[in-house]
Amino acid sequence: MNLSDATQLLRAEALTRYDIYRWIHKALRARMCRVLVAVGGIDVSDGPATARALDQLDALLAVCRGHLQHENDFVHAALEAAQPGSSADAADEHVDHETHIAALAAASAALRREPAADGALRLYHALALFVSENLVHMHMEETEHNAVLWRHCTDAQIQAVEQRLMASLPPAELADTLPWMSLGLNATERAQLLGGLQQAVPAPVFETMLDSAMAPLTEPQRTALARALGRAPVPGLVMC
């Protein structure tokens, strides 16, 4: 599928059909870009700052590993049931991504052991390539894979796949993803996400989730979200 075809597909169906990829991919893009900037800013003469950047990178790599497995186990299974062979190319790319994740993890560990400016630059370039590959890969999933799902499945069936995936996640993984998803979503999507959580979980749990979702937002974004949820605006600004 060329770029023109993909763009037409997005215009025609992306806003009317359920998109299993949209919110999690927005979270991943936000996190990847933030971590790429952090790694690009590494100055190995500042040990604590270097360690913080590498901690962010290692956390991102763990998230990417988990995301690959979740897609393999749930989304690819749905694609194969709908149209055999439709996930094959993506599955091959997932294998390549796993190789790149392992190489980045090794480079991160090496830089921790022996901080060096040339090692930091090589790590940054390798991460930039990994992020760029993932951006292209996610676009393919959002267009080609969604086209298969939308052709063969109802929105309710797609949502059922997502619900099974979500039910398989440990609470710590959900908590880790929420602020990045909040950061990546637009105001309407953010209100839908938090509004759904408000209805689905006990009030004390929701308060913790709301604090986490608010943390990376600007003051206007926090105010808009509070209003959408029927709450008083929360003062202050916290950036992750």
Domain boundary among the residues 130, 151, 169 is at 169
In terms of Cα–Cα distance, which of 48, 124, 137 is closest to 98?
A: 137
Gyration radius from the chain CA atoms: 19
Domain containing 151 — which CATH number?
1.20.120
Q: Does 47 share its domain with 93?
A: yes
Q: Does 138 share its domain with 46?
A: yes
Q: Does 164 share its domain with 195?
A: no
Q: Does 147 share its domain with 213?
A: no
pLDDT of residue 237: 47
pLDDT of residue 3: 58
| CA 204 vs CA 177, 180, 181, 197, 222: distances in Å | 19, 21, 20, 12, 19
The CA distance from 56 to 187, in Å, is 26
* Residue 219 token pair: 């003051």
pLDDT of residue 238: 46
Domain boundary among the residues 135, 152, 169 is at 169
Q: Does 16 share its domain with 105?
A: yes
Q: Does 133 share its domain with 55?
A: yes
Task: Say if CB 38 and CB 53 are below 8 A apart.
Answer: yes
pTM above 0.95?
A: no
Q: Does 71 share its domain with 183?
A: no
Q: Does 181 share its domain with 76?
A: no
Q: Does 17 share its domain with 106?
A: yes
Mean pLDDT in order along the chain per 10 residues (240 residues): 59 83 98 98 98 98 97 98 98 98 98 98 98 98 97 97 95 95 97 94 94 96 95 59
In terms of Cα–Cα distance, which of 90, 95, 29 is closest to 63?
A: 29
Q: Does 82 share its domain with 155?
A: yes
Q: Does 13 share its domain with 110?
A: yes
Q: In total, how many domains does the chain have?
A: 2
Residue numbers of the domain that contains 190? 171-240
Q: Does 45 share its domain with 159?
A: yes
Domain boundary among the residues 126, 145, 169 is at 169
pLDDT of residue 186: 98
